[in-house]
Amino acid sequence: MIDLELLEELVAFQKYGTLSASAEHLMITQPSVTRGMKRLEQELGVELFNRQVNRITLNETGELAASEAKKLLQAENDFTEKILILVLLLPAHYC
């Protein structure tokens, strides 16, 4: 199963465009984001980036993966929110 944190890093990269800006937004180190993106590529078995000297950009597959990751993260957030609201509204039935 793919770690949701890796998907968050991918979505951040799509939004901010650089590993360092993504890391700053996520409050982690740039090397952590770099390792995470390499791990995500390995887990998916595809390349997500075009790599050039001192420059990295999402390729077509990476753009698609980031867009789908954003949807998945939103769905996970919605799921958690709905469950928590349900538990708060009907606590006797779910404890």
**pLDDT by position in tens, the chain (length 95):** 899 999 999 999 999 999 999 999 999 999 999 999 999 999 999 999 999 998 999 999 999 999 999 999 999 999 999 998 888 877 666 55
Amino acid type, 4: L
Residue 86 has a pLDDT of 83
Dist. CA 31–CA 94, nearest whole Å: 42
Residue 85 has a pLDDT of 87
* Residue pair 69/11 in contact by the 8 Å Cβ criterion: yes
| CA–CA distances in Å: residue 85 to residues 40, 54, 81, 89 | 32, 46, 6, 6
Adjacent-strand bridge partners of 57? 50
Per-residue tokens: 24: 């700053």
